[in-house]
Amino acid sequence: MKTTLKLSFALLLLTVWACGDSDPDTAPPVVDIPGLEIPEGGATSPTSYAGMTLVWEEDFEGSSLSSQNWRHETGRGDNGWGNNELQYYRPENTSLVDGNLVITAKREDFSGSPYTSSRIISQGKQSFRYGRIDIRAALPEGQGMWPALWMLGSNFSSVGWPACGEIDIMEMVGGQGRENEIHGTVHWQNQGAWVNFGRSTTLPQRQAQDEFNVYSIEWDENQIKWFVNDIEFNAIDTRPAELNEFREEFFFIINLAVGGNWPGSPNNTTNFPQHFIVDYIRVFQEN
């Protein structure tokens, strides 16, 4: 059972036009989000773990995205953000609804792109080294959809990719029956070459869309482990010297790409708009 926000539902919420705090004296505008369905159920995660402390939590409450935690990346990126993606990222495609981040992908022409979506990053605002990270989210569906919860090394601006390292907590590529396959991957540089390692796990059909699931990593100086709903499905030993990237601080990225090298382009089976919903992010570190 889901809660559906219809065009006729008079809900006051703010579509984020820029990364910043809202004026408390200004009422947020009425924004209609056609087809948005926020799941009522699904997996949850604890607010504490033995031997660990909750050091940061983003629950997306309020009417605007926190400028202390996030900023938008906009535009078409270089070569479609390096992946031949088709969307134009805009702040207008980000909303906060009932304590959830909602990123909406639309089929619309904008600045030379046939689709729009959003991408938010915590670079320069929130970054972490090691710990348990839990992210509760519900995913979109359809050929060409590519939601991701991921991290880049905080030295990205100075050393570039892949030398900064990349931790993909969760990726899904839509279409062709792939919506129930969840991927966890790392990327790094070894002797000047790009290297990656990843595995996937399979959920029951439509669970990733119809319910919230918790996507997690446990990360320390020796290894990274990946979980869905606290069930481990991937791990990598990061002790070798060529994996030193993963002993540095990383920042968060949340985005919904449309098209690209991995998922391929949307087709006539892809329904728009599509929504990527994130309930919370929690970061725990050892006491």
Residues, the chain, total?
Answer: 287
Q: How far apart are CA 40 and CA 32, in angstroms?
A: 20
Q: What distances in angstroms separate CA 41 from CA 3, 155, 205, 206, 254, one per listed residue?
A: 10, 38, 16, 13, 22
Residue 182: how many CA atoms within 13 Å on its side-chain side?
A: 29
The residues that are catalytic are: 166, 171
Cα angle at 163 between 181 and 258, to 5 degrees? 40
Q: Is residue 33 helix, strand or coil?
A: coil
Asked if 275 and 140 touch (Cβ cutoff 8 Å), the reply is yes
